[in-house]
Amino acid sequence: MVGIIVKDYTHHNRSLPKWDSPKGKYISSKRQYLNEIARAGLIPYEKSEEIRQKNEDNQKRNRKKYPKETYEFLNSVKNRTDKSGKVKLSDRQIDYMVKSGALRDRDKLRLPKHYQTAGGFE
């Protein structure tokens, strides 16, 4: 058995500009609806879905590919999170980040003044 869908375009639409009644813009036919949409600078749902699908396909094709090591590193960091979402990195993870260039060499990092070994009270 085939289901028949009948679209009745007679309705009041509040999303269109320049309402002609307190309920909204009165639409009496599909042709008027498409004209009002075009006049307002909008596009039909079907066309917007085509554009969205095309953009998703372009994003999938142009997505940057990372090495397998990078994904393994990110998974290991994700697994080390505590219940509040904070991460404590291990020495190996920090070494990988230094090796990959995400961090500068950690032995040469400058610490704030109150962490310096030299000095004292001012």
Q: How much is the pLDDT for 56? A: 93
Q: How much is the pLDDT for 2? A: 42
CB 36 within 8 A of CB 20: no
- Residue ranges covered by each domain of the chain: 11-62, 68-107
**Is the pTM for the entire model greater than 0.85?**
no
Segment 73-92 mean pLDDT: 90
Alpha-carbon distance 100 to 103, whole Å?
Answer: 8
Tens digits of per-residue pLDDT, 13-26? Answer: 787 777 777 888 88
Token pair of 25 as six digits: 């813009």
